Amino acid sequence: MKTALGFLTEEGRTKRKNTIRRICVYATLMFLVAGACGYLIHRYWVSPSLTPLQRVYFKQYAKATFRSYIKNSRSRYTTLNETVRDPSNGKEYVFPASDEHINPVLDEAGRIKFDEAHNPKFQLKPNMEEVKRLGWDEAIVNDLYAYGWFKRMFYDGKSILDTWRPAWLASLLLFISGMVFLIALDVFANRRYLKGEPIRGTKKLTPREYARKHRKDTGIAVTTYRQESET
């Protein structure tokens, strides 16, 4: 029997628990699907749109982004630098390498090669004779400063979220739309099921449904028991 406070009954609590379990299953499924979608978008859309140095610095930029929220934290960073000699005074100056001055060294498969220190290999473009040295340098710097430096020098003022926007936005929209669809489908399926909900040991059927379900029955068998009287 249905009541206004049916959700407080044992049956209501059982239905609520089952509903929560199904929603958790749907959420887990859509989380995996959305995560796979975000990864594919990052690999085949976001990453190819980045310059070689943006791809090389991406992990360090992500580390600097997360660690910049920790006060006074410092980490080790590796950067590619150009050493230029000033012909007027003979002094050498170090500048961060830019994509306009260098080309990545690629293998037969089109991937960037690595040197003995496991750093990506780059070479200077033609007509860059003023650069006397191109190499990787390590330094331990403040993470907040490193975050601002990477953002300003290589990512045109874009944060990690801005760079990742196509991936995380598509994943979020897919997760929400998938959850809405699965929950709506769950509600529709359960409403159809509840039309034949058992009531007091019987099942409510229309005459046509009853005839279809029992078309092979030849009769109704009733088991009886005889009680012998004591003499």
Q: How far apart are CA 125 and CA 102, in angstroms?
A: 5
The reported pLDDT for the residue numbered 31 is: 94
pLDDT at 37 over 90: yes
**Residue 94 · residue 83 · CB < 8 Å:** yes
The reported pLDDT for the residue numbered 200 is: 47
Confidence of residue 228 (pLDDT cuts 50, 70, 90): low
Average pLDDT over residues 30-38: 94
128 or 29, which is more confident?
29
Q: Model pTM?
A: 0.67
Beta strands (DSSP E) in the chain are 74-85, 92-96, 102-104, 122-124, 131-142, 198-199, 202-203
Kindly report which listed range (55-59, 79-83, 225-229) carries the lowest average pLDDT score: 225-229
Query: Which residues fall within 8 angstroms of residue 142, CB to CB, at 6 or more apart?
Result: 72, 73, 74
- Tens of pLDDT along 157-179? 999 889 889 899 999 999 999 99
pLDDT at 225 over 80: no
pLDDT at 105 over 80: yes
Domain residue spans in the chain?
17-51+156-191, 69-153
